[in-house]
Chains A and B, each alone.
Chain A
């Protein structure tokens, strides 16, 4: 219980930190975003609109900073992320609701496949250490991880989309299908998602392979494994029940940390494939200087990462009793 509370506290503190960062950054940066917005309106908005904008952006200048800060905290906590400038008067939260499923879908699938395949491959090459596969797989996948995702994405887009027309060049599903739970739509989503999936997958699988390989090798050297081996436990059982099970633990903690990296990479990949997720909205918001949307997108990405991190911590706690006892020190 203490462990859960501890992690919960950390979750709350980090979300608070993300919100605070969102509050501080516009104030640290040169230029007042509200004034910049006003400049864009070039006199079309009445002077009182500046005030409205500042309130909307949580920076009413007549209030002391601390009051502004708590106003901002309150509106964030109650889910009032403001209204998008680009799509005025659409609330930022509505735009997030629209794009979040795509990001989670693409990311989730690519991530899951990478974790499962990567971990299995890691187990395999750790067992077959010194084999050709052990020599090629980590290095080969690492090469893909070293390629900038957007660059690989663009090459694939050009080659498999533009040049050969094997895959669509934009969007999450075809313009001729009706979104909903129907076969054509699902097929279309899979078809459209394949290239972005491939890029996210190739960019992240290496970490799992190498991580699992190293964990396995460490575990295979543990006395209890050696002992089990000596006792003549069948290989399959030895690998999965004895070694892999324990080698998996550190992988679980990596999941959350890797997530923030993957999300980052995915922003670019969504942009490349015009995939209608959060990253695509974020980059568009930046180019159109839609500050409420930028802040909202950042916040949702941060909160999502933190929440997943929390869930992973919970799972980890269940898997490893030591973690529960150690509490929040790690």
Chain B
């Protein structure tokens, strides 16, 4: 039965890549809409120094797609490999799809009396909490952390870091009818926290709610789904309008609510939930606007959670949160911290740890509609003049590395890197002399102010960044200084997020240079598609290239991995040769933890799941794998 899961990964590898690609193109912005959904939630919480949010964009897009990754799938053909690659604890959960584990007997359990210490979690800065644990709100906006995962569970959780599929309320699923019918077997021993049994009725009801109240259907599930029906008490059948294998990711990761409660509540997006009833490992313990706690659900289908109490305090900003973390008051944290070794690790090197896996590529977008920036030599000169190591070390405190010029997120996408490309070419160079030479060769001459110009047009640009995202603000200032050295004048404009979004993301782009993120996915295809395709969702630089569009279309239509790789290789070369925009560095995912009370967090050596405490569902799975320190 595990093969089913792996099977999914396989499909999700090849076909999914294609279908999802098509899907994204056809439907435009599902992925992005998803990203935005979370992004808003995060932004809402995010105060100064907020690298947090940008990663949330990444994390969301990743979580939606990466698990469908082709190469990840191939690596994991067959459950045997999966298990071998994981620690025993991971294995217990990752192979939950196996019905033998459905009873949950193998999950680690510890009597809470032995170690009653609560685990303190601070996913991101937060103002006062609002007393609302409505999962429909949580998916839209800034609902309280843990609502999704600790209380409400989906059928499956598809992880973006490991590419694995974790079985939650579903135990297995099968495709039939030409990949138009999806049958999901449900866990028979799951119970709602009020004691009622969890059945297929609840699943059908949840999906019907989404249909009835489109505001709740943030993933646009009913754009693809034709019907949802129960097949007995422990199975549900999803009928798709057209075959769309990758879209199953959205369906499978939809959280489920109890029918016996929500059927009386009306529009689910307008409800205030103070006594949430879910199937998850925790129930809501206490709530105050500055702190809420979850208590372990002793009747959890997966066994009694090893952490008896999970505590979420509110910290207004990175400052207050960092202070608490440095003082050892926080066990699991997802915030940006300056000088982490000095501020956090050195205060208790034995227990204080961090791990910042790369999330996406941060770009310096160049508006190709600008007559100067549309000239390749100008972009090349800019790229050569930027000291990316300084950006990474000064603005980002050395938490990240300069990004590959290919546009790939490395090492995540290492399997997709064209082996024939020499490393010296893919790695960005810092060479201001060469930059000036390129400008001079292109016919630019220094004017009286020391700025290069051609035909009376000086190389003078604005650079837009979001006000308050201080690491990017610092980057912008560093770039300004770097470019000044080679005779390019840059005026930094810090904008509020709304204005920045409409200038960069709107139909009418209004900028010269801008620092912004990329929308990544399970394969490099997603980053390339979003950024480079004429109809891409985040085609900020406004590239419109028939050549690129054709390569992307070819990728989406082929199931041959060899062919896909060839296409990606072409795109890598296109990126390097044409530099449609300028990769700067990788955007890190923040994750800090203290293992004084509990051990078992993901580590760089064993990144078995997305380690960020803000990652819905993953956080609950991590919690179930922690072990109290005796």
Which positions in A face B, CB cutoff 8 Å? 30-31, 33, 35-37, 39-44, 84-90, 94-95, 98-99, 157, 161-162, 165, 169-173, 175, 178-179, 271, 274, 276, 280-281, 283-285, 287-290
Check A36–B45 contact: CB distance below 8 A: no
A170 to B468 Cα, complex, angstroms: 22
Q: Which residues of A are found within 8 Å of B505, using beta-carbon distances?
A: 39, 42
Q: A287 is contacted by which of B39, B46, B289, B502 (Cβ under 8 Å)? A: B46
Number of A-B residue pairs, CB cutoff 8 Å, is 141
Q: Which residues of B are found within 8 Å of A170, using beta-carbon distances?
A: 313, 315-316, 320, 323-324
Once A37-B498, A169-B324, A274-B320 are accepted as A-B contacts, the answer to whether A179 and B37 lie under 8 Å apart by CB is no
Check A98–B327 contact: CB distance below 8 A: no
A165 to B497 Cα, complex, angstroms: 37
Q: Cβ of B137 < 8 Å from any Cβ of A?
A: yes
Q: B270 is contacted by which of A84, A89, A276, A284 (Cβ under 8 Å)? A: A89
A283 to B46 Cα, complex, angstroms: 11
16 contacts between A and B (CB under 8 A): A36-B499, A40-B39, A40-B43, A42-B33, A85-B141, A88-B137, A89-B270, A98-B289, A161-B323, A170-B323, A175-B290, A281-B128, A284-B47, A285-B127, A287-B47, A288-B43
A30 to B498 Cα, complex, angstroms: 11
B319 to chain A, nearest CB (A): 8
A165 to B48 Cα, complex, angstroms: 25
A178 to B293 Cα, complex, angstroms: 12
Residues of B119-171 at the interface with A, using a CB-CB cut-off of 8 Å, are 127-128, 130, 132, 137, 140-142
A44 to B33 Cα, complex, angstroms: 5
Q: Which residues of A are found within 8 Å of B327, using beta-carbon distances?
A: 162, 165, 169
Q: Which residues of A are found within 8 Å of B140, using beta-carbon distances?
A: 88
Check A85–B324 contact: CB distance below 8 A: no
Q: Cβ of B29 < 8 Å from any Cβ of A?
A: yes
Q: Which residues of B are found within 8 Å of A161, using beta-carbon distances?
A: 323
Helix, strand, loop or mixed for chain A's interface? loop
Which positions in B face A, CB cutoff 8 Å? 28-29, 32-33, 36-37, 39-40, 43-48, 127-128, 130, 132, 137, 140-142, 218, 269-270, 272, 286, 288-291, 293, 311, 313-317, 320, 323-324, 326-327, 468, 496-499, 501-502, 505-506
Check A274–B130 contact: CB distance below 8 A: no
Q: Which residues of B are found within 8 Å of A288, using beta-carbon distances?
A: 43-46, 127
Once A170-B324, A171-B313, A179-B288 are accepted as A-B contacts, the answer to whether A86 and B128 lie under 8 Å apart by CB is no
Check B316–A175 contact: CB distance below 8 A: no
Q: A281 is contacted by which of B127, B324, B468 (Cβ under 8 Å)? A: B127
Check B326–A162 contact: CB distance below 8 A: yes
Check A280–B316 contact: CB distance below 8 A: yes
Check B28–A86 contact: CB distance below 8 A: no
Most buried by B among A31, A35, A44, A162: A44
B32 to chain A, nearest CB (A): 6
Check A271–B316 contact: CB distance below 8 A: yes
Given contacts A42-B29, A98-B289, 14 further A-B contacts (CB under 8 A): A35-B498, A40-B43, A42-B33, A43-B33, A86-B127, A86-B141, A86-B142, A89-B270, A98-B130, A169-B320, A274-B290, A280-B316, A287-B47, A288-B45
